[in-house]
């Protein structure tokens, strides 16, 4: 099924069909947003950049060559470049200056306060997933944290971050 989605998207991109963008958004949107956020560390700005990435994908889709790598690798490259370009804007610099010092607090909040985790627990499907695993999943796949940052923020050795993330996802897959 999935390879069909990748080839379907490739095919639609070659035709400059808007449906390709919808499929990219549905199947890769959250992963790409995470990758952008890894660079920008700003949810709102990352969503803006994702929006521009979707546009770039539609405009340059015909340049995608499946023989040179997977669609995802190409999407990640476009997203990373867009995110890096964004860091060079005045807009980004101003937001970074005003956020200095606040970031740590907000990160700490998102991890330490049980509010969001409580909300997540409310979701029955994922209710059985341990909180630390959810945090790992969120940080790694949805909140733009690199393994190194996770290691630093959660106090987990870098060598075990990878395996813990894997364990968390394994668990996730077993329950959904």
Partner 1 sequence: MDIQAYISSGILEAYLAGELNEQEMLEVDRVATEYNEVRIELDALRESLLKYAQVESKAPRQEVLDGALKSIQEIEKEKFFEVLDDEPEVRIQRVNIVPVWTIAATILLFLSLGFNYVFYSQFKNTKDQLAALQSDQTSLANRVSETNEQLQYAELRIAHFMSEDNIHIRMDGLDLAPESFANVFWNKKSNAVFISVDNLPEPPHGHQYQLWAIKPGVAPIDAGIFDHNQLVQELKIVRGNVEAFAVTLEKEGGSPIATVDKTFVKGFLKKS
How many other C-beta atoms can be found within 10 angstroms of the C-beta atom of residue 149? 17
Does the protein bind partner 1 through residue 33 (CB under 8 A)?
A: yes
Does the protein bind partner 1 through residue 10 (CB under 8 A)?
A: no
Exactly one of 8, 80, 154, 156 binds partner 1 (CB under 8 A); that residue is: 80
CA angle 86–134–117, rounded 5-degree value: 95
Does the protein bind partner 1 through residue 176 (CB under 8 A)?
A: yes
Site string for partner 1, 93-122 (x = CB under 8 A): ---------------------------x--
Q: Are 174 and 76 in contact (CB under 8 A)?
A: no
DSSP assignments along the chain, one per residue: -HHHHHHHHHHHHHTT-HHHHHHHHHHHHHHHHHHHHHHH--HHHHHHHHHHHHHHHHHHGGG--GGGS-HHHHHHHHHHHHHHHHHTSHHHHHHHHHHTTHHHHHHHHHHH-HHHHHHHHHSGGGTTS-HHHHHHHIIIIIS---HHHHHHHHT--HHHHHHHHHHHHHHHHHH-
Query: How much is the CA Rg of the chain, to the nearest whole Å?
Result: 18
Residue with smaller CB distance to partner 1, 34 or 92: 34
Does the protein bind partner 1 through residue 154 (CB under 8 A)?
A: no
Question: Per CB under 8 A, which region of 7-15, 87-95, 100-108, 165-173 contacts partner 1?
Answer: 165-173
Does the protein bind partner 1 through residue 45 (CB under 8 A)?
A: no
State in angstroms the smallest separation of the CB of 135 from partner 1: 12
Exactly one of 60, 63, 113, 146 binds partner 1 (CB under 8 A); that residue is: 146
Does the protein bind partner 1 through residue 73 (CB under 8 A)?
A: yes
Q: By the criterion CB under 8 A, which residues form the site for partner 1? A: 1-3, 18, 21-22, 25-31, 33-35, 38, 47, 50-52, 54-55, 58-59, 68-70, 72-73, 76-77, 80, 120, 123, 125-126, 134, 137-138, 140-142, 146-147, 162-163, 165-166, 169, 172-173, 176
């Amino acid at each position: 099924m999935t390879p069909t989605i990748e080839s379907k998207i490739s095919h639609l991109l070659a035709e400059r069909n808007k449906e390709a963008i919808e499929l990219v958004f549905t199947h890769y949107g959250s992963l790409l947003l995470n990758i952008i956020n890894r660079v920008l560390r700003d949810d709102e700005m990352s969503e803006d950049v994702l929006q521009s990435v979707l546009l770039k994908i539609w405009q340059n889709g015909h340049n995608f060559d499946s023989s040179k790598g997977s669609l995802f690798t190409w999407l990640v490259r476009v997203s990373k470049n867009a995110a890096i370009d964004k860091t060079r804007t005045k807009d980004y610099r101003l937001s970074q200056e005003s956020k200095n010092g606040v970031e740590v607090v907000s990160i700490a909040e998102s991890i330490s306060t049980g509010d969001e985790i409580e909300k997540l627990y409310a979701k029955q499907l994922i209710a059985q997933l341990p909180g630390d695993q959810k945090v790992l999943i969120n940080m790694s796949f949805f909140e733009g944290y690199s393994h190194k940052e996770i290691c630093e923020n959660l106090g987990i050795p870098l060598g075990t971050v990878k395996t813990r993330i894997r364990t968390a996802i394994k668990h996730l897959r077993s329950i959904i």
